[in-house]
Amino acid sequence: MRKIIHIDADCFYAAIEMRDDPRLANRPMAVGGAADHRGVIATCNYEARAYGVRSAMSSRQALKLCPDLLIVRPRMEVYKEVSREIHGIFREYTELIEPLSLDEAYLDVSDSPHFAGSATRIAQDIRRRVSLQLHITVSAGVAPNKFLAKIASDWKKPNGLFVITPEQVEDFVSALPVSKLHGVGKVTADKLTRLGISSCLDLREWSKLALTREFGAFGERLWNLARGIDERQVQVDNRRQTVSVETTYDQDLPDLAACLERLPGLLEQLAGRLARLDSSYRPDKPFVKVKFHDFTQTTLEQAGAARDLDSYRQLLSSAYARGAKPVRLLGVGVRLVDLRGVSEQLELFAR
């Protein structure tokens, strides 16, 4: 039986800004781009969330919801350094660490000798040390697998710890809303609701074959998750192949002009994610993804193209022409070259 901890920093960027400038504390604030430049919110503190402000929201919309919101520009190098310090703490308990972002990671402590192998006490100590050394808080979830550990870390946010023991899995998962399942977005959740499925207990009434007929390959995944089954291991060397952002719109974008209008905001979000990459990656081919109102979709990329606004406009225009229908989702991204792999190959040939 694995012992998995999921650690998630609480409003990470905003927490660092409030730590470094106490005047920002106890007032609505966010980290993001300027509203007059189609900026996007990267994260915000809990005071701002009380007004409905959230990450990936346009800064303009955030200010409409909360006129007193203070938006500060991100300091990515500072956030990266704090992330490195947090991971340094992780490595004192286990080498089996799977980073998901600067502020989030899975830890496999199944064989850790610390605290007599107690994952709960390890999570408590990590939280204590992050608070003491870095003066920010993290939430933690402890469970027998990654799926449940990630849900658990969100259960008592902010600054919380929630544990799901093997004996508790059955009852916990039975009562879990299907909207909490990994990979269930709004569209899938709506379809499940139409089928009369609102909880994992409801989902268990469906056979694996029936779910596969309704949801394709994801149906088998749903069948497993409804029973608390997740065999994925913590991937220590989980090298990325792409970086992308995408948005599903509440109302379909009617034409190409409406799609092009959303492009600068998407690219600003993409730039923020690219800034989080370490130096072992090099951005390569740009690509766009378009999902039309009838759920058909297309992805288009171009080798040798620049990663500027004009290049993405051309890609988006070509991709849109493949369907020429109202659009429900737009995505932009970049293929990555793994420089570490290239370096290892060069060293091999140099021997």
Q: What is the mean pLDDT of residues 84-111?
A: 92
Question: 135 has which bridge partners?
Answer: none
Q: Is the pLDDT assigned to residue 341 strictly greater than 70?
A: no
**Does 255 count as an annotated binding residue?**
no
Q: Is the pLDDT assigned to residue 342 strictly greater than 60?
A: no
Instruction: Look at residue 345 in the predicted model and tell me its pLDDT.
Output: 36
Instruction: Look at residue 307 in the predicted model and tell me its pLDDT.
Output: 85
Instruction: Look at residue 349 in the predicted model and tell me its pLDDT.
Output: 34
- Reported as a single tens digit per residue, the pLDDT across 8-50 is 999 999 999 999 999 999 999 999 988 877 788 999 999 999 9
**Does 103 count as an annotated binding residue?**
yes
Q: What is the mean pLDDT of residues 256-267?
A: 95
Instruction: Look at residue 337 in the predicted model and tell me its pLDDT.
Output: 84
**pLDDT exceeding 90 applies to what percent of the chain?**
68
The band of 56, judged by pLDDT with boundaries at 50, 70 and 90, is: confident
Q: Is the pLDDT assigned to residue 128 strictly greater than 80?
A: yes
Q: Is the pLDDT assigned to residue 274 strictly greater than 90?
A: no
Instruction: Look at residue 239 in the predicted model and tell me its pLDDT.
Output: 65
Name the active-site residue from 104, 214, 231, 261: 104
Q: What is the mean pLDDT of residues 88-115?
A: 92
The band of 166, judged by pLDDT with boundaries at 50, 70 and 90, is: very high
Q: Is the pLDDT assigned to residue 241 strictly greater than 90?
A: no
Higher pLDDT, 101 or 51: 51
Q: Which domains are assigned to the chain?
A: 4-12+77-166 (3.30.70.270), 13-75 (3.40.1170.60), 170-225 (1.10.150.20), 242-344 (3.30.1490.100)
Q: Is the pLDDT assigned to residue 238 strictly greater than 80?
A: no
What is the rounded average pLDDT for all residues in the chain? 90
Instruction: Look at residue 89 in the predicted model and tell me its pLDDT.
Output: 93
- Reported as a single tens digit per residue, the pLDDT across 109-122 is 999 989 999 999 99
Query: Is 104 noted as a catalytic residue in this protein?
Result: yes
Instruction: Look at residue 317 in the predicted model and tell me its pLDDT.
Output: 95
The band of 351, judged by pLDDT with boundaries at 50, 70 and 90, is: very low
- Reported as a single tens digit per residue, the pLDDT across 278-329 is 778 888 899 999 989 887 888 888 877 888 899 999 999 999 999 999 999 9
Instruction: Look at residue 276 in the predicted model and tell me its pLDDT.
Output: 79
Q: What is the mean pLDDT of residues 45-65?
A: 93
